[in-house]
Structure 1
Amino acid sequence: NESVWTADQNEEMSNTSASPDSVSLADVSAEKATQGSDTDLEVEDPEKAFAGVMGAELYLEACRLTEVVPVSHFIQNLSKPYVNLNHHGLGPKGVKAIAIALVSNGTITHLELEDNCILAEGAIYIAEMLRENSSLQELNISNNHLDTAGAEAIASLLLDNMSYLHALQLSGGLYALKQSHCVCTFVSLQGNYQVKELDLSHNGFSEKGGQLLGQMLARNTTLEILDLSWNHLSRKGTVALGTGLRGNGALKILNLSWNGIGNEGALALGEALKVNNVLVHLDISNNQINNEGAKNLCRGLEVNGKLKILKMANNPLTVEGATALLASVRKNHNCMMEEINISNVLVNETFIKLLDLVCRMRPELDVIHGEVEGCITKIPKQHPNPMKVIQKYLKEHNLQLWDFFRNIDKDGNMKIPVAAFRRAMMQQQNIPLDRVQIGELVRQLDRHRTGIVDY
């Protein structure tokens, strides 16, 4: 296994070196074995050091300098836009060699470095490289034990807006009080206008971290996707986030699942949804929200005209809370809701009747719920295969399947958003399909739940 062998070799060489910072880039240019401190990627005489050295040659020279075994996969993909080095056991020295090679690289736009134990030292090398590199746009350095110094280096990079990154994954690896708060504090001080997608999940930010992140949301004008799942934000942290959301005009997708936000957090989010007109996707699954919390959230859903997807699965809701959610959609004439996921909630016939009524008003809506109470004892209603029903209709009218899709595809790009497809199927009168059959048809045509019917 290349990655294991590389990790073992790197560890062995690291153990035999005099110190972790005993070699500097100036040694390569002078080709001497002198000892010196090395805390960054700068070279005393860059023109002399790596004059004319690029690509694989530069990386191999950097590996010789840092005394690590070169990673063949990196060499083979230096000229490609996407490089995946997850779980390669690189360590701080291995990632330093890669950082040196990337300073002048103009082809790699997406780099995966998750779970490489790069530590604070490696994070500092990455941050310094990003200040010089002008092509890297997506970076994953999750689960790397960055420690306080590493977190500060990344936070400073974000604060200074010195990179071209628009997507950054920092899931895990900051799981300690100082590191978590460090990143939150630095990002919240001033608006970063580069990063649009940020993954800070699994970092244990706690309530205090939630308060700082709420400040960041109130000031940031660029971030569009934020994952804060598994962070123990709890009620107070979510209240602060809700306050930040009220004035935020950029965030479109927010994941707050597994944070224990409870009914108080749901109330804060409901109040935020009253005034927020940007957020389209909210995930609050697994958050100890009961019927009272659902009703708190409905205060915002009754007036919000932007939210399209609400994920609330695995909360202790009953049909009472589910009915309240559905009623808020029915009441809101400006509602844009396309999906509500309450997949664990056992519903009843009354709920199903209300759902049928709401879907006639809003044909694009898909409510994912649990079993229907009492149906286990009844013979389930048999629905003909929706695709066979469509094929029968096409055959009777001498039409092709292509014609069927083209008639729905208003943009003509051969990709139909699921909501638009569901709406068209519910509104058409020629093919006898009910809501359940249309749902089954969507699942057949969009098996991977991409939100797109690609015909």
Structure 2
Amino acid sequence: MSALASCSLPEKEESNKETSTAEVYLQACKLVGVVPVSYFIRNLGAPTMSLSHHGLGPLGGKALAIALVSDMHINTLELADNYLLAEGAKYIVEMLRANFSIQYLVCIGHILMPFLALFYLGSVITCQAVGRRYIFFSSTSTANNEGLEALDLSWNHLRMKGAVAFCAGLKVNMTLKHLDLSWNGFGNEGALALGEALKFNNTLVHLDLCNNRITNEGVGMLCRGLEANDTLRVLLLAYNSLTVEGALALVNVVKNTPKSALEEINICNVLVNENFVQLLELTCQEHPSLEVQYGGVGGFIAKKPLKRPDPMKVIQDYLDQRKLRLWDFFRNIDKDGTMRVPVADFRKAVQQSSIPLDRYLIEELIQRLDRDRTGMVDYR
């Protein structure tokens, strides 16, 4: 029995008239014992329903799900910051399987998101908690709402067991086309699981694995899946710990796999050598649509991956050259003198300065200075 089926509403014997969504919602709230959200009732009929920050909780999510099972007006549903937890996620997922008008769902990360993502990908394996971040789900409006086409799980601390559990769902998923897993910690263990998933998944066309602590060894594991895959077109692997060896493995798998659909490979931070360039030219003769973005020629075969600069050291060196103090740098951004700077203001200040930090290093710096994802950089 589904999570919603156990909470069916009594039929009105005195009237054959179809019960309105508002009436169903009020009855559901009474049945589960929660206070109705007046905003929801007032805005029924609108294509976008923004219920963020309403404190629904699991039972409030249940009442909402019951009401939305048959509502076909809402296109976008926003549920950020509602403490739904895994229990509430179950009710929302059950509703989505019956409601085929909702195409966009915006929730907030933490325990809810991996549960919802895995459940919706076809796996009921629970996953470790992930970081707080907005996640965007998109699905097509078909006769049923059984699967996602685009899923963004970037910046969610998915790693090790969580990464493996997620890939178990991806292995059996038949709808997902665009997947963003950047800025997680999949590592080689996650790359192995992804390689296994790609052997069976025949719908994914775009995969973003930038900044996932994957080494040449992990790329080799990923390539085993690419050998059996004929649908993936875009593979983004920038800012992982790759060298020429990993770059050669990626191009070789395309060259040696006639059915490969890969058209774009991004390893823009990797320095390659002449052997790579020659191999790429040879491969492009057989796969003319292939485009590989790399960091330039000048790499070499080495066991140790090239080290990326420490963003804090880059800032410190920049200030030392100009005989400035780190304290002064922060105080110039902190106009209120609270010793806490909004992340957006900090990012803008660094971007507008002449400090030699690219976008990825700036984000890495922010991640380090705001470990708890509060949205504030505390420089005390």
Does 1:238 find its partner at 2:187? no
CA displacement at 1:262 relative to structure 2: 0.8
| Greater percentage in helix | 1
Q: Distance in 2 between matches of 1:49 and 1:258?
A: 61
Q: 1:276 aligns with which of 229, 246, 269?
A: 229
1:334 paired residue number: 286
1:196 paired residue number: 149
Q: Distance in 2 between matches of 1:282 and 1:160?
A: 24
Cα 1:296–1:87 change in 2 (3 A) is: farther
1:301 paired residue number: 254
Relative contact order (alpha carbons < 8 A, sep ≥ 6): 1 or 2 greater?
2
Does 1:43 find its partner at 2:8? yes
1:68 paired residue number: 35
The answer as to whether partners of 2:4 and 2:66 remain within 8 angstroms in 1 is no
| Greater percentage in strand | 2
The answer as to whether partners of 1:59 and 1:101 remain within 8 angstroms in 2 is yes
Cα 1:308–1:82 change in 2 (3 A) is: farther
Identity %: 36
Q: How does 1:143-154 map to 2 (within 5 A)?
A: 143=109, 145-146=111-112, 151=115
Q: How does 1:153-302 map to 2 (within 5 A)?
A: 159=122, 175-176=128-129, 194-302=147-255
CA displacement at 1:213 relative to structure 2: 4.7
* Structure 1 counterpart SS, 2:286: coil
1:55 paired residue number: 21
1:449 paired residue number: none
* Structure 2 counterpart SS, 1:311: strand
After superposition, give the CA deviation of every residue in 1:32-77 in whole Å (9 maximum; x if it has no partner): xxxxxx98762352345996431345445555664436253x4455
How many aligned residue pairs are there? 276
Q: How does 1:70-89 map to 2 (within 5 A)?
A: 70-72=37-39, 74-75=40-41, 77-89=43-55
Instruction: Read off the aligned partner of 1:238 and give its amino acid letter.
Output: A
CA displacement at 1:280 relative to structure 2: 0.6
RMSD, matched Cα = 4.0
Cα 1:275–1:325 change in 2 (3 A) is: farther
* Structure 2 counterpart SS, 1:141: strand
After superposition, give the CA deviation of every residue in 1:244-296 in whole Å (9 maximum; x if it has no partner): 32343221111222221111112223344344221011121222112222222
After superposition, give the CA deviation of every residue in 1:158-185 in whole Å (9 maximum; x if it has no partner): 6499xxxxxxxxxxx95439xxxxxxxx
Q: 2:267 aligns with which of 289, 312, 316?
A: 312
CA displacement at 1:144 relative to structure 2: 5.1
CA displacement at 1:86 relative to structure 2: 4.0
Q: Highest CA radius of gyration, 1 or 2?
A: 1
Instruction: Read off the aligned partner of 1:42 and give its amino acid letter.
Output: C
CA displacement at 1:318 relative to structure 2: 2.3
Q: Distance in 1 between matches of 2:4 and 2:227?
A: 49
Unpaired runs of 5+ residues, structure 2, are 131-144, 299-380
1:7 paired residue number: none
After superposition, give the CA deviation of every residue in 1:65-98 in whole Å (9 maximum; x if it has no partner): 64436253x4455324443444554433443342
Q: Distance in 2 between matches of 1:339 and 1:291?
A: 17
CA displacement at 1:311 relative to structure 2: 2.4
Unpaired runs of 5+ residues, structure 1, are 1-37, 162-172, 178-191, 349-455
Does 1:110 find its partner at 2:72? no
